[in-house]
A and B are shown apart, each in its own frame.
Chain A
Amino acid sequence: MADVIVEHGRVVGTTGARKRTGLHNALRRKSMVAFFLTLPLIVLIALFVLYPALFSMHLATLNKSMQKFVGFGNFTFLFKRETFWMVVKQSCIFAITAVIFKALIGFIVAHFVHNIPAKGQRKWRGMLLVPWVIPPAMSTLAWLWLFDPSYSAFNYTLSFFGVGPIPWLGDAAWARFSVILVNVWYGSPFFMIMYLAALKSVPDQLYEAAAIDGANWWQKIWYVTLPMMRNIIAITTLFSLIVTFANFDIVRILTSGGPLDQTQIFATYAFRVGIESNDIPLGASVSLFMVPILAVAAIFILRDVSKRGNEA
């Protein structure tokens, strides 16, 4: 608004050069103030996000001792490794399956919470968000203990139903299932909260109109709820895809990538190679493989968020 005032003044003010320079100074001062206010932010992003991102590309072209330039040597080396392709496959399976189940469970739970009388909703919502509030490293420890091979609470319970001891983390297939299960447990409350907020914003009249037209519950969801929530579903899913794809804590604590690197995903594999095996360039190359997928997701989020901003 100050802009308008200043501009207005410039149009009207015909008194001469002295006033114009005064205005000029004011303008310059305003942008100087703005510049100084954003300077710490710019420095932070440039120094600790932008620079490391570029530095990582540089690192990826060096050899292990970081003395020699090897070009795409690290990448061609990775392409020849079977373990690397396993990591790619597992990362995709892990992220896609987990996000689908998070989205589904979140959607279903949000509907149930939305269904009950408003008085109790707060209580239920508060209870159901707890998994998201606990630091994932801490809650994964609880899961690790639930999965424990010898004293496992799950196997103890299952033994009453005659189901034999399940090697939750010892067998590759079960370990893959377990890391996804924990991730779904941790992430679906976030979807629930987002959907619940979106559900509240769907006008009641639409449902009434649908009911008058004779729509059943399924048609109401398909023709009213989903179209109205499409944007928020897209944003939440893409956001969760990024976070899940880049996940580290859960896999690291639960399996450390084992058994035999079968549950290794990009982040844990990069940590194993880059930090534990001390081959920083190779680790940087591994983590760079996340960039294309993250970039695509980020572009779509940006599009949806700005669309949403325009609607509002």
Chain B
Amino acid sequence: MSTMAIDKAGPRRNVKYGSMSRDRTWALRWSYFFLVLFAIFFLTPPLYMVITSLKSSAEISAATNPWWVFHPTLSNYVELLTSNQFLRFFWNSSIVSLVVVFVTMLISIPAAFALARMKFWGSATLATGVFLTYLVPDSLLFIPLFKMFALVQDLTGITLLNRWYVLLFIYPTLTVPFCTWIMIGYFASIPKELDEAAIIDGASWLQTLTRIFIPVALPGLIAATIFAFTVSWAQFLYPLVFTTSIDQLVLPVGITTTLIKGDVFNWGQIMTGALLGAAPPLIIYAFLMDYYIAGLTAGATKG
């Protein structure tokens, strides 16, 4: 904005003194130049996935120019989308992610509401604890969790290991803390006059939550939902540890363990599978980019 003003005010007749706008033009050109370079770096792997997914195995092993498709074919897609095994992975991933999103919201919205609005004994400590839990990585807990579920299985006789539904207990540890944390922020930013008015009108806590907080904080809710979904969809370590039978695997583990097997790497299919596995988060991102980014940046701010 300020540069626009300078551009207009800059003396046009004397080229020497017009260097401000000339500098600006060059800065812009350099910016675009480097942005293109970085975009190439960032987008090469996904583009290469697309290129390879359109090739037949014969074309891949012929070692022609890898950056170009000479005989495009959709056979990889057809093969994967008609294979029961792959559809099973997709189904497992979808059901796990959707249930986890639902459970996450069920846990974190009431908790965030209580932590943002009802000051009670230990509420500040709990909020800090939630944030700290968010910082605990999966690679710290997978061994004790595995052993824990093995012990529970031995004690109760309920099969937990090597079943996809065990993931429903574990994924919320990754999604709930962050979602609660950002929902606390969104709820805390709602003017107190709103819920005071509701309480004066005789609304209960539950009504205040469902009639005031959830509708007003809907953008935050969408951001949290997207986060919960993408995290559960992309999770790799826990399913790798907890599930081994082919019919129990989720997509990321399924692709890496079943398609990469033996001496023959069927790269066309692996890339197609990877692309299909990356599709749901990418589609959500394409349509709800602003919510996605709001969710990303909200993590580092308190309210």
Contact = CB atoms under 8 A, between A and B. Distances in A.
B46 A139 contact: yes
Interface of B: 1-2, 27-28, 31-32, 34-35, 38-39, 41-46, 48-49, 52, 60-61, 63, 65-67, 106-108, 110-111, 113-115, 118-121, 123, 126, 128-133, 135-148, 169-170, 172-173, 176-177, 180, 192, 195-196, 199, 205, 230, 233-234, 236-237, 240-241, 252-253, 255-256, 265, 267, 270-271, 274-275, 277-278, 281-282, 285, 289, 292-293, 296-297, 299-303
Interface string A274-312: 110000100110011011001001100110011011001
Given A41-B180, A45-B129, A248 B241 contact: no
Contacts of B114: 33-35, 37-38
Contacts of B234: 135-138
Contacts of B173: 44-45, 48-49
Interface stretch (A166-174, A189-197, A219-227): A189-197
Nearest to A48: B173
Contacts of A248: 138-139, 236-237
B137 A194 contact: no
B107 A44 contact: yes
Contacts of A130: 42-43, 46, 282, 285
A37 B110 contact: yes
B186 to A, nearest CB: 14
B234 to A, nearest CB: 3
Given A129-B293, A308-B302, A56 B141 contact: yes
22 contacts: A38-B111, A55-B147, A59-B144, A108-B34, A115-B31, A124-B39, A134-B278, A135-B278, A136-B234, A137-B234, A145-B267, A153-B66, A153-B67, A157-B67, A193-B293, A197-B297, A266-B139, A271-B241, A280-B146, A283-B143, A305-B301, A312-B303
Nearest to B6: A211
A198 to B, nearest CB: 9
Nearest to B267: A145
Nearest to A151: B63
Nearest to B302: A309
10 closest A-B pairs by beta carbon, nearest first, are A309-B302, A246-B137, A135-B234, A267-B139, A52-B144, A41-B111, A37-B114, A137-B252, A142-B45, A56-B144
Interface residues of A, number: 104
A203 to B, nearest CB: 11
B147 A48 contact: no
A141 B131 contact: no
Nearest to B147: A280
A245 B118 CA distance: 36
A117 B1 CA distance: 9
Nearest to A304: B300
Interface stretch (A17-25, A68-76, A79-87, A232-240): A232-240
A31 B205 CA distance: 11
A146 interface: yes
Contacts of B281: 133-135
B144 A204 contact: no
A185 B120 contact: no
B45 A185 contact: yes
A45 B130 contact: yes
Contacts of A202: none
B177 A45 contact: yes
A125 B281 CA distance: 17
B4 to A, nearest CB: 10
Contacts of A180: none
Given A145-B267, A146-B48, A207-B2, A33 B137 contact: no
A249 interface: yes
Contacts of B192: 1
